[in-house]
Structure 1
């Protein structure tokens, strides 16, 4: 605010309307001293002259209100499981359920596993490869069900296109999408002649959770 406006005198036409009368400097000083003296506690050591000379007198203060719109978190909230199902995010359209469409994904997975296992050389021990496969992502792998509580699943072979916590979704050479439960099922996966068995009951986790999990070292590892 401009200091000149603060010190400006009240216009004459507003004096009667506001019910105020102009005061001289001496009258204003006397009023200020009297006002401060009444506000100071009797036993206070505060010097009135020091207060008038060196300290600002705050007659009123109102804390500015915070803009609530700015305090809201800017982090976008993800969709929950129900919303994802309603939007069919994980739904594979029938025209996309073709084995040949996922063959490039399988080739990428093979190269990923070979790089992960340091080239899958003959010198690599089975325990080393199994440890790597425990945390690997299997999207694109060709899985074969070799044992299952459901006999109709045994012998099913296809490319893994989706992995969830409790199920594998694979596409067969007959262009059929099969949903295989992990529990009570054993899968075989082959990479460059190396065949490993995956025990689905121990894979009941999402791929992202499995990659971060610490597995205990054992003499033999049942995948």
Structure 2
């Protein structure tokens, strides 16, 4: 690049627009040399004046590269062991009271009625059953109708927790019961509509069950 191009005088029309004046030649040269020396990383053997005489110098802004560690860093949730250690699903004894979960049951009833488009004696049982297979049962009042373990039969309460293999319910006697889904049949009553739930078909978490496709098979024997 020719030095004349670097120190070229500003045209008069730009002087009026920019509000600046051209510097005296030796002052402009001194400023340019100092600016380039501070702005460009040079090898000790290189000379700024020689660089300007032989090639163009591009002054541009380069964005800093993101660290790979930051880009690859992803938020990880807790695993099952950590959740147990923190007792995330633990319900304190003073909170194991039937009346505390009645508002949750009222919310669940309205949720199921809306999900099934209104429940009445003329509702199609098959359609209701298919929707219940994918529904969330936290807050439902369940009764164990049949089970291979006779001590579970007749147990009734509000579902306060649902896991892959068990329901946790709280009874009117303020007792928390853990009922296995496998080999058990549960009954749920909503607005006089009683539906049977076969635990063998419910061996999934509520979040998994909502996306699962169930076959329209009949009841499953214990």
TM-score (norm 2): 0.70
Query: How far is 1:149 from its partner?
Result: 1.6
Q: In structure 1, what is the equivalent of residue 18 of structure 2?
A: none
User: Normalization by structure 1: what TM-score?
Assistant: 0.70
In the alignment, the residues of structure 2 paired with residue 3 and residue 67 of structure 1 have an alpha-carbon distance, to the nearest angstrom, of 34
Q: Secondary structure at the match of 1:212?
A: coil
CA–CA distance in structure 1, aligned partners of residues 144 and 156 of structure 2: 7
* 1:4 and 2:4 are equivalent in the alignment: no
Q: Distance in 1 between matches of 2:126 and 2:172?
A: 31
Give secondary structure in 1 for the equivalent of 2:174: coil
Q: Paired residue for 2:70?
A: 70
Q: Deviations over 1:107-148 (max 9, x none)?
A: 111111111111113331111111111111111111111111
Structure 1 match to 2:189: 190
Rg larger in structure: 1
Question: In structure 2, what is the Cα distance between the partners aligned to 1:83 and 1:6?
Answer: 58
2:84 equivalent to 1:82: no
On the 8 A contact 2:120/2:191 being kept in 1, the answer is no
Question: 2:158 aligns to what SS in structure 1?
Answer: strand
1:161 aligns with 2:145: no
Q: Is the 8 A contact 1:127 1:221 kept in 2?
A: no
Give ranges in structure 2 of 5+ residues lacking alignment: 1-30, 38-43, 59-63
- Gaps spanning 5+ residues in structure 1: where? 9-17, 33-51, 59-63
User: Counterpart of 1:213 in 2: which secondary structure?
Assistant: coil
Count of matched residue positions in the alignment of Structure 1 and Structure 2: 179
Which runs of at least 4 in structure 1 moved beyond 6 Å after TM superposition? none
> In structure 1, what is the equivalent of residue 211 of structure 2?
212
